[in-house]
Amino acid sequence: MTRTLEVVNPFDLNVIGSVPLKGWDEIDSYLSTATQLHKNRKGWLPAHHRIEILRKTAVLMQDRFENLAFQIANEGGKPLVDARVEVTRAIDGVGLCIKEIAGLAGKQIPMNLTQAGDGRTAFTQREPIGPVVAVSAFNHPLNLIVHQVAPAIATGCPVLVKPADDTPLSCKAFVDILYEAGLPEEWCCFVPCDIPTAEKLVTDPRVAFFSFIGSAKVGWMLKSKLAPGTRCALEHGGAASVIIDSSADIEAMIPSLVKGGFYHSGQVCVSVQRVMAPKGMADDIAQLLADAASKLCVGNAIDEQTDAGPLIRPHEVDRVSNWVAEAKQAGAKILTGGDKLGATTYAPTVLLRPPLDIKVSRQEIFGPVVCVYEHDTIDDSISQANDLPFAFQASIYSNNLDMAMKAIEQLDATAVMVNDHTAFRVDWMPFAGRKQSGYGIGGIGYTMHDMTQEKMAVIKV
C-alpha cells in the first residue's frame, strides 16, 4: 500500500494537500537510471537544451507567480508579502543558472614553464559530476529547491530531490514546471520519503554529490555516512550576532533589525538573534526594538495583513516558550512577547540581558526572539560574538569606518554586513557557514561549480 504524506497549513493545521511517499524500490530504480544517464556521455543534455528548458521554466514560474506565493504561505507559514519576494528570488535564481552556464569554462595551462613540459599544449574543461541528491529545508520551500535543483539541471547532472516533510508541495510544483518546460522526467526525480529511506539514498555509493540544507545534527550525521567519493555541501544555522557601535544611526537601524529578527518568525538560518549594544544604550535600543516588534501582526500567513506567521510545528512553539521561560527565570527581562499566542504561534519577543550560558544565548533559537546584551567595549562584543561553535553571517551598525573595519577583520563570520541585518542575501553571493554552521559554499554559481569537476587534456605535438 502506498503511504502518503499529509501537508497542513501550520497556522490552523488544516490539511491542504498530500504527496505519496516513495519506497526504496522506486528510488533505487530512479538512482540506477540517473547513474546510466551520467555514464552515457553521448546522451548528455547539450548546454543550449538546458538553457532553453530553464528559460521556459522561468516564464512558467512568472505566469504562476501568485499561485506559487500562496502555496509557500499556505504550507510553510511565510507571510504572503515575503512569499512573493521568495518567488521573485526563485525566478531570478533560474535566470542566474542560465547566465552561469556560460561560465562553466576551462582554461589554458602553460606547459613550457620548464623543459619537461616543452612540446605540449594543455587545457581544462568542466564536466557534470554525476547524480545529485538534494535534501531540503522547509523555511524557503521554493527558493531552496531552486538553489539545489536548478544548478544540477544547468550543469547537466541528473538529480533526485527530497523536500522537507512539511513543505513538499512547492518542490513538486517546481519539478512539474521543469517537466512542462521540456526536461525529460528521468533527469529530475521528486522523492519524498521516510527518514530510513532518505538515509539509504543519501549514503548510496552511486551518489556523486549530496546537497543538504537543514539542521546541523542531521547534516553532520549524514556527512559521516557518505560513501567514499561522494562530494557534499551542507548548510546549517547559527546564532547570528549584531554589534552596535555608539556612532550608529539608531533610528534607521531599528526597522532593519526588526526585519532581520522577525522575518518568517525568526525561522531563518542567519536571523538576527544576539544584539550587542554599547553600555548605556542597551536599554533604549531594546525598548525601541520591543516597541516595533509589538506592532507586528501575527496570524495565518495566507492573510495579507500578517507580518509574522506560525512556527512550522506546534512543538517548535513549545520549545521556544521553554527557552524564553528559562531566560526569564535566569534573570532576563522580557520587554515584549514572551507568550504563546496559540498552539501554533508565538509572540515576537525581545529579551534584555539574558545570561550568556543559557540556550537563547548559545544555541540557534529559530523562532521570533531577539536578545539584547550590553558591553563596555566593541572588543567585548566581538569576543561574545565569536564565542560559539557556529559562525555564519554577522553584522555591525556603525558610522565609524575604523569600527566597521575592525568588526570585518575580527568577527568570525563568512560575511559581515555593515549597517544591514544578518539575514541579508542575494543569490549570486557566496553563502556559507563556518565551523558547525556548514560545509562548502552556497550561492547559485558556487553550487554549479561544485556540481562539476575539472578534466585536463595534455596534447604532445
For residues 344 and 293, the answer to whether their CB atoms sit within 8 Å is no
Half-sphere CA count of 167, side-chain side, radius 13 A: 30
pLDDT at 380: 96
Question: Is 157 among the catalytic positions?
Answer: no
pLDDT at 341: 97
Residue listed under C-alpha cell 558610522: 399
Pairing of strands 349-352, 369-375: parallel
pLDDT at 292: 98
pLDDT at 1: 66
Q: Helix, strand or coil for residue 28?
A: helix
Q: Helix, strand or coil for residue 425?
A: coil
Burial code (b: 16+ CB inside 10 Å, e: under 16) for 365-390 equals bbbbbbbbbbbeebebbbebbeebeb
**C-alpha to C-alpha distance for 370 and 372, rounded to whole angstroms:** 7
Q: Sign (positive/negative) of CA torsion 357, 358, 359, 364? A: negative
Amino acid code (one letter) for 440: G
Catalytic residue among 235, 316, 364, 374: 235
Q: What is the mean pLDDT, run by run of 10 residues, along the chain of 461 residues?
A: 91 98 97 98 97 98 98 98 98 98 94 95 97 97 98 98 98 98 98 97 98 96 98 95 97 97 97 97 98 98 98 98 98 98 98 97 97 96 96 97 97 97 95 95 96 97 89
The strand ranges marked E within 136-283 are 159-162, 188-190, 209-213, 231-235, 240-244, 272-278
The strand ranges marked E within 376-451 are 390-391, 393-397, 415-418, 434-435, 438-439
β-pair partners for 212: 135, 234
pTM of the predicted model over 0.85: yes
Distance of CA 169 to the CA centre of its chain: 18
Amino acid code (one letter) for 127: E
Catalytic residue among 189, 232, 269, 371: 269
Q: Which strands make up the sheet holding 452-460, listed edge to edge?
A: 108-109, 120-128, 452-460
Q: Name the residue among 115, 117, 125 with its Cα closest to residue 47.
A: 125
205 phi/psi in degrees, rounded to 5: -65, -10
Q: Walk me through the domains of the chain, giving residue ranges and CATH numbers.
A: 4-236+437-460 (3.40.605.10), 240-427 (3.40.309.10)
Q: Sign (positive/negative) of CA torsion 163, 167, 172, 173? A: negative
**C-alpha to C-alpha distance for 274 and 287, rounded to whole angstroms:** 15
For residues 298 and 345, the answer to whether their CB atoms sit within 8 Å is yes
360 phi/psi in degrees, rounded to 5: -65, -20
C-alpha cell at 228: 567514499
**C-alpha to C-alpha distance for 396 and 390, rounded to whole angstroms:** 18
Half-sphere CA count of 42, side-chain side, radius 13 A: 0
Pairing of strands 231-235, 438-439: antiparallel
Q: Sign (positive/negative) of CA torsion 227, 204, 37, 49? A: negative
